């Protein structure tokens, strides 16, 4: 079997000045040095990195980032250092805490007819941004199309506070850590992907479309090269950061009275399984019942029109006639009304937090 290694080359003017810094201060191991009588090249390894320090190498000194779970105990607690050869060293946390930006509230309407561009992202999937402002980084909402057939995905996880996958068309097969074999998501079904749950998208049907909500907007997707899915043990009650995996099936849901008069809704159980972090509902109008003006005090209240039509009225705003594929966000304390809804209207409502107050005006 052939052995292959990779090195990062860094320049130096005096190797003897650099060796103590890289070995003692940074804790790297000296693996190779030559020529013996007047060393000009040293190879060191450590922290998952192999470095070749070479006298008069043509490259710029560059920057090395070292991630550790004890940054205060590494290099005497210094977060930035400069090696004798000029290389800048950054010391950072291996698993920094998740930062949730303060929401920048705004009334947002994003219509499919406006022809926002579809951007090809991870694993060949096409993304349409539903909330361009991302409410100051508080959330991201994406309309995603997945090419039909096998998906070139890898086992991965997301460092998030909340993540929803709601299928609006077609179907897709996904494997999840500790949740048994392949799970198929059909139109109207949804997954809650708790923080850091390992998963892999396997196969998509022709025309598959999903809505993905992520909190915060900027979050890390990390590949797990070690875990194999499906996992041997099925643990349906396992929690990740206090949240349980949810696979909600539309065909098993029951419509009940909704918080907005003139509508009924089905609950996806996400409020219960995230312990109040978020709620996801599907709402539809009741025949012959008008919908009044209302206000709410929810931090983030997002809607996607899955089918049908309605007019969105807002105080101080021109009315918007919305159709399937449109999305909108209603900020807290803004009076709005859902008017002139067609009977085939279905709305996806996502709220963070899961419980909030609605005032009928």
pLDDT cut 90: percent of the chain above it: 85
> Which contiguous run of DSSP H or E holds residue 272?
helix 270-273
Domain boundaries, the chain: 8-93, 117-246, 252-360
Architecture of domain 8-93: Roll (3.10)
Q: pLDDT tens digits for 94-139?
A: 888 888 899 999 999 999 988 778 888 766 778 899 999 999 999 9
What pLDDT score does 117 carry? 80
pLDDT above 70: percentage of residues in the chain: 99
Q: Which CATH class is domain 117-246?
A: mainly beta
pLDDT per position as a tens digit, 177-215:
999 999 999 999 999 999 999 999 999 987 899 999 999
In three-state secondary structure terms, 312 is strand
**Distances from the Cα of 72 to the Cα of 13, 80, 352, angstroms:** 30, 12, 35
The pairs formed by 114-119 with CB atoms below 8 angstroms and a separation of 24 or more are 118/145
Domain 8-93 identical in fold to domain 252-360 = no
d(CA 220, CA 264): 36
Asked: is 252-360 a CATH 2.60.120.10 domain? The reply is yes
Q: For residue 17, say if its preceding peptide bond is cis, omega within 30 degrees of 0.
A: no
Distance of alpha carbon 311 from alpha carbon 297, whole angstroms: 22
Q: What one-character DSSP code corresponds to residue 195?
A: T
Lowest mean pLDDT, pick from 55-59, 95-99, 282-286, 354-358: 95-99
The per-residue pLDDT for 1 is 73
* Residues forming beta bridges with residue 263, ordered by sequence position: 285
């Amino acid at each position: 079997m052939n052995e292959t290694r990779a090195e990062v080359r860094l320049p130096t003017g005096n190797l003897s000045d650099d060796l103590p810094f890289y070995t003692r201060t940074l804790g790297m191991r000296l693996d190779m040095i030559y020529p013996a009588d007047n060393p000009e090249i040293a190879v060191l390894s450590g922290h998952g990195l192999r470095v070749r320090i070479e006298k008069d190498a043509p490259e710029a000194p560059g920057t090395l980032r070292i991630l550790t779970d004890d940054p205060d105990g590494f290099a005497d607690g210094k977060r930035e250092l400069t090696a004798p050869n000029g290389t800048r060293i950054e010391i950072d946390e291996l698993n920094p805490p998740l930062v949730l930006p303060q929401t920048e509230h705004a009334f947002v309407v994003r219509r499919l007819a406006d022809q926002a561009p579809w951007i090809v992202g991870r694993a060949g999937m096409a993304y349409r941004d539903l909330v361009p402002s991302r409410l100051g980084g508080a959330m991201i909402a994406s309309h995603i199309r997945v090419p039909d057939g096998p998906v070139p995905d890898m086992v991965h996880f997301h460092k998030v506070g909340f993540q929803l996958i709601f299928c609006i068309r077609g179907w897709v097969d996904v494997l999840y850590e500790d949740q048994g074999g392949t799970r198929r998501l059909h139109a109207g079904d949804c997954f809650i992907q708790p923080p850091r749950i390992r998963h892999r998208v396997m196969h998509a049907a022709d025309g598959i479309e999903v809505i993905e909500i992520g909190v915060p907007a900027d979050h890390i997707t990390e590949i797990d090269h070690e875990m194999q899915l499906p996992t041997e043990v099925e643990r349906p009650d396992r929690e990740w950061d206090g949240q349980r995996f949810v696979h909600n099936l539309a065909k098993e849901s029951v419509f009940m009275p909704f918080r907005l008069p003139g509508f009924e809704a089905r609950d996806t159980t996400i409020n219960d399984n995230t312990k109040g972090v978020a709620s996801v509902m599907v709402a539809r109008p009741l025949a012959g019942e008008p919908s009044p003006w209302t206000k709410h005090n929810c931090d983030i209240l997002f809607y996607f029109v899955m089918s049908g039509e309605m007019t969105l009225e807002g105080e101080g705003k021109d009315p918007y006639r919305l159709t399937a594929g449109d999305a909108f966000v209603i900020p807290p304390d803004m009076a709005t009304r859902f008017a002139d809804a067609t009977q085939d209207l279905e709305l996806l409502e996502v709220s963070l937090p899961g419980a909030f107050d609605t005032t009928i005006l």
